[in-house]
Structures are given as structure tokens and as C-alpha cells.
């Protein structure tokens, strides 16, 4: 109930462009209905170094604020500010441990929503707060993701396809329906290497893969390059509510296995490819977290 004379306030955006203004020869921002001075070493700041200006302010992790800076030459940087609007540092790994802990606490819900969107849903829709965070420069997004990586995705268990029962991989889809993966269809996809499917890029404009559930051909939703030799091709089976990644390793486009993030499972065809997969597994949380935050705009339609 609103008391007589009480002023109702609307939700404030979490991404504010050109947030600073001069007041009394010092830089200020309007936060929570108040004009707050930007502090550096406890002293109100009059100006940035020549060529630099504040392009945006992300408030979604308050009481930690991310002030985006841009130079005339196009380079970008981030200032981390505390609840006093006091400069803390410009790099995540140089923040005090208690600040990193607070940043992780505030960032995890947002990053988990992105991880769920990429790993569980083929037809992704993201909310405004996540879109706002994508306005923060990519280097800062990756650094924040690295702090949270162990909470975003778990290292999968590794299995050979021949050791699975025909319909043993039961999962719950996005509509809360129990479904199962067919071992034969799963094995059909694992045979060969990615070069066997490169022709699809020429003829159909996309790489196709048989659905592990019913064998229907599926088109790739995107490719995430981890480094020069490792990548993951993302597929979504909308009919069966399943998202999976084909992990590619080495210069010959060898298929290390199929990763099912929602099931915590990585399935390989044989022991050689399983060895490739096991070499990748320890890196999956870091690769996935940092690459998703870098390439999210391209991965999400």
C-alpha cells in the first residue's frame, strides 16, 4: 500500500549510457535519485586522462558498479567502483578477495541464466538485465566469468557409446517431459570427423548432425572456438528439448565426443577419442565460461 503523498519509483535501468556530468567542477552520476561524486583515492575526480571518457555505467551488480571507459582511439576499459562510488581497480584479479567474493555473489545469478540459456534451450530468449551486461566490454565479461566458472558448468563424466544401454540416457526436457537418447543414433553421429560434414557448409550453409533422440538431421546453431585446435559446435533439438555440443579436437577436426551439459555427460566413440575428450574435460568450465561471455551475441539468436 502506498501512503498518501508517497512518491512511487520506477525500476531503474542497469545500463546507463553517458552516465557522468560535471557538478561543481567534479564528475557526478545520478544513482538512486541522488547525485553522487566519482571518487579516486577518496577525492572527487575532476576529469579523466586526455582522450578518455565514461561511455556507460552498469549497475546490475550493485553495490559494485562497473564504469565503462572508452578512449578516442577505440580502446576500452572498466573501472570497478564500490558502494561509495569509489574507484577500486580496473582488473578483476587485482580486486580485494572480499570484493571478488561479493562480485561473484552478485554476478552468478545473471551468468547462470546465460549458461542455462546456451546449454538447455535451442530457441533462446534472454532478459533485459543480461542484454545490459553484454554492453560491458568483452575482456571484463570474460574476467568476471572466469571468477564464476566452476559454478556455471560442471566437468562432465566420460563414457564410451558402446558401454551405454540402448535407451539408458534419460533426461528431462524444457517442458518437464522425460525423454531418452537412442544409443544407435548417438553412435551414428560420432563416426567420422567434422570434415565429413563440411560439404554441408557449401550446399546448405550449415553443418548438420543426427539428433541423438530420433536421428533427424539438425543444423548447427553456432560454433564456439576455444583456441586454434579446440572448438564446440552447438546443436539444438527443439522437438525433443535437447541441446548438445560436438567437441572438436586437433588439426584434423577429430570429434572428441558429444557433450550434454544438462546431463553432465560426455560420450565418445572409442578409447582414442575418449583420450582426446579426457584431455579437454578439465578445461571445459573455463573455456565455456569465457567463450560464452565473449561470443554470446553470436550464439544467441
pLDDT band at 3, cuts 50/70/90?
low
The three three-digit cell numbers of residue 59, written as one number: 549497475
The three three-digit cell numbers of residue 60, written as one number: 546490475
**Distance (Å, rounded) from C-alpha 90 to C-alpha 78?**
6
**pLDDT at residue 196, rounded to an integer:** 59
The reported pTM is: 0.78
Asked if omega into 140 is within 30° of 0 (cis), the reply is no
For the chain, the distance separating the N- and C-terminal CA atoms, rounded to the nearest angstrom, is: 41
Contact 68, 58 (CB under 8 A): yes
pLDDT band at 96, cuts 50/70/90?
very high
27 has a pLDDT exceeding 80: yes
pLDDT digits (tens, 9 = 90+) for 36-77: 999 999 999 999 999 999 999 999 999 999 999 999 999 999
200 has a pLDDT exceeding 80: no
SS3 292: helix
**pLDDT at residue 201, rounded to an integer:** 42
Min mean pLDDT across 41-55, 88-102, 273-287 is at 273-287
Q: What is the mean pLDDT of the chain?
A: 84
Average pLDDT over residues 177-184: 86
Q: Can you say whether residue 6 is alpha, beta or left, with left for phi > 0 and alpha for psi between -120 and 50 degrees?
A: beta
SS3 29: strand
The residues near 105 (Cβ < 8 Å, ≥ 6 apart) are none
202 has a pLDDT exceeding 50: no
Contact 137, 69 (CB under 8 A): no
Residue bearing the bigger pLDDT, 158 or 165: 158
Percent of the chain's residues with pLDDT above 70: 85
250 has a pLDDT exceeding 70: no
**pLDDT at residue 20, rounded to an integer:** 96
Percent of the chain's residues with pLDDT above 90: 39
Min mean pLDDT across 71-80, 98-107, 205-214 is at 205-214
Average pLDDT over residues 220-240: 82
pLDDT band at 198, cuts 50/70/90?
low
Q: 28-34 long-range contacts, Cβ below 8 Å, gap at least 24?
A: 29/57, 29/85, 31/59, 31/65, 31/85, 33/9
Contact 200, 194 (CB under 8 A): no
**Distance (Å, rounded) from C-alpha 102 to C-alpha 99?**
5
Amino acid at each position: 500500500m502506498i501512503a498518501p503523498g508517497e512518491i512511487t519509483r520506477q525500476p531503474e535501468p542497469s545500463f546507463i549510457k553517458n552516465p557522468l556530468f560535471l557538478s561543481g567542477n567534479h564528475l557526478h552520476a545520478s544513482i538512486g535519485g541522488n547525485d553522487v561524486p566519482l571518487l579516486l583515492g577518496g577525492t572527487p575526480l575532476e576529469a579523466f586522462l586526455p582522450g578518455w571518457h565514461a561511455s556507460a555505467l552498469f549497475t546490475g551488480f550493485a553495490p559494485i558498479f562497473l564504469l565503462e571507459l572508452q578512449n578516442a582511439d577505440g580502446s576500452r576499459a572498466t573501472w570497478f567502483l564500490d558502494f561509495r562510488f569509489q574507484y577500486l581497480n580496473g582488473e578483476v584479479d587485482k580486486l580485494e578477495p572480499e570484493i571478488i567474493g561479493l562480485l561473484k555473489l552478485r554476478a552468478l545469478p545473471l551468468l547462470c541464466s546465460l549458461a542455462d540459456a546456451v546449454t538447455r534451450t535451442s530457441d533462446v530468449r534472454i532478459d533485459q538485465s543480461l542484454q545490459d551486461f553484454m554492453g560491458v566490454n568483452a575482456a571484463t565479461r570474460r574476467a568476471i566469468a572466469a571468477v564464476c566458472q566452476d559454478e556455471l558448468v560442471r566437468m562432465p563424466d566420460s563414457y564410451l557409446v558402446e558401454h551405454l544401454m540402448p535407451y539408458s540416457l534419460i533426461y528431462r526436457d524444457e517442458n518437464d517431459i522425460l525423454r531418452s537418447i537412442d544409443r544407435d543414433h548417438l553412435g551414428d553421429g560420432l563416426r567420422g570427423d567434422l570434415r565429413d560434414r563440411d560439404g554441408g557448409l557449401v550446399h546448405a550453409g550449415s553443418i548438420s548432425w543426427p539428433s541423438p533422440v530420433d536421428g533427424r538431421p539438425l543444423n548447427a546453431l553456432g560454433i564456439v572456438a576455444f583456441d586454434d585446435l579446440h572448438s564446440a559446435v552447438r546443436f539444438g533439438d527443439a522437438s525433443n528439448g535437447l541441446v548438445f555440443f560436438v567437441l572438436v579436437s586437433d588439426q584434423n577436426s577429430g570429434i572428441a565426443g558429444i557433450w550434454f551439459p544438462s546431463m553432465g555427460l560426455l560420450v565418445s566413440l572409442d578409447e582414442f577419442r575418449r583420450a582426446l575428450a579426457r584431455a579437454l574435460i578439465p578445461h571445459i568450465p573455463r573455456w565455456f565460461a569465457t567463450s560464452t561471455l565473449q561470443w554470446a551475441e553470436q550464439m544467441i539468436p
